Amino acid sequence: MSIKLPPIITIDGPTASGKGTIARIISKKLGWLLLDSGSIYRALAFAVIESNISVNDFESINKLARNLEISLREGEIYIDSLIVSEKIRTEEISRIASILATDHNVRQTLLKKQRSFLSYPGLVADGRDMGTVVFPYASLKIFLTADISIRAQRRYNQLINKGNIVNIMSIMDNISERDERDARRLHSPLVPALDAHVVDSSVLDIKQTLGIILDLYKYKFGPSYN
Ligand code: DC
């Protein structure tokens, strides 16, 4: 007898490609669970800072990662009982998360946590290696990308709307530094899975991007969403 796993949609892509927004909308539409895998790396980065651990001290970082209680509940991310959803969205945490994510042992520890989110009726998972490493057997894989200047502009608008004072050139530098690190690292680098559909959203708005992905969903699963 074969065990039927819940269906999975993976949405991978570089920083600020819009994958988080798209993944959230699709998971709501389908009533499936959402795994924002970047938030797990970010939560670890937050805990590293809070524990005064140096970003070079991978022995301590790994020990912390193994013992960290990270959970996602009702759209919030928790470390133990503390909600850190907003606190992990800073540029500093983004940078540190991307550094921690280069370490093989950190990735192995967080891999188990990420796989534990798989449940019925289905999972929408976004990140860098959802379709290549974490859920290679996913039914539908999307690689969402966009030109770097467009991504920097979108991130700039997001931060400005939240009341932050930011400089577009420094955002562009941060994004390109993270792109470079995420794509060139040895372990689970950011690359489209061989069977991923690459969607370039440079000249698409959210509605158009969503339309393309929902068409792919319908093609794969049939028109069963509302
Ligand atoms: O998606 P994000 O920007 O919140 O992710 C923050 C960092 O975490 C990203 O720069 C690299 C790392 N990450 C990863 O290596 N693998 C994932 N699946 C998700 C995130």
pLDDT at residue 165, as a whole number: 87
Task: Answer whether 41 contacts ligand 1 (Cβ < 6 A).
Answer: yes
Do β-strands 70-73 and 76-79 pair in parallel, antiparallel, or remain unpaired?
antiparallel
Task: Answer whether 131 contacts ligand 1 (Cβ < 6 A).
Answer: no
pTM of the model: 0.94
Mean of the per-residue pLDDT values of the chain = 94
Atom of ligand 1 nearest to the CA of 94: 6
Q: Tens of pLDDT along 161-209?
A: 988 888 999 999 999 999 999 999 999 999 999 999 999 999 999 999 9
Domains and CATH numbers, the chain: 8-213 (3.40.50.300)
| Contact call for residues 121 and 11 (beta carbons, < 8 A) | no
87 is annotated as contributing to ligand binding: no
Which residue's CA is the closest to the ligand 1 atom numbered 12?
Answer: 98
15 is annotated as contributing to ligand binding: yes
Which residue's CA is the closest to the ligand 1 atom numbered 13?
Answer: 38
19 is annotated as contributing to ligand binding: yes
pLDDT at residue 225, as a whole number: 59
Q: Tens of pLDDT along 1-52?
A: 667 889 999 999 999 999 999 999 999 999 999 999 999 999 999 999 999 9
Task: Answer whether 101 contacts ligand 1 (Cβ < 6 A).
Answer: yes
- DSSP characters over 114-152: HHTT--SS-EEEEESSIIIIISTT-SEEEEEE--HHHHH
Q: How far, in whole angstroms, is CA 41 from its chain's centroid?
A: 9
Percentage of the residues of the chain whose pLDDT score is greater than 90: 88
pLDDT at residue 74, as a whole number: 82
Atom of ligand 1 nearest to the CA of 41: 8
Percentage of the residues of the chain whose pLDDT score is greater than 70: 97
| Contact call for residues 53 and 100 (beta carbons, < 8 A) | no
10 is annotated as contributing to ligand binding: no
| Tokens (6 digits) for 104 | 């093989």
Contacts of 153 (CB under 8 A, 6+ apart): 168
pLDDT tops 80 at residue 60: yes
Which residue's CA is the closest to the ligand 1 atom numbered 9?
Answer: 98
Which residue's CA is the closest to the ligand 1 atom numbered 20?
Answer: 38
pLDDT at residue 1, as a whole number: 60
35 membership: H or E segment, kind and range: strand 33-36
Task: Answer whether 178 contacts ligand 1 (Cβ < 6 A).
Answer: yes
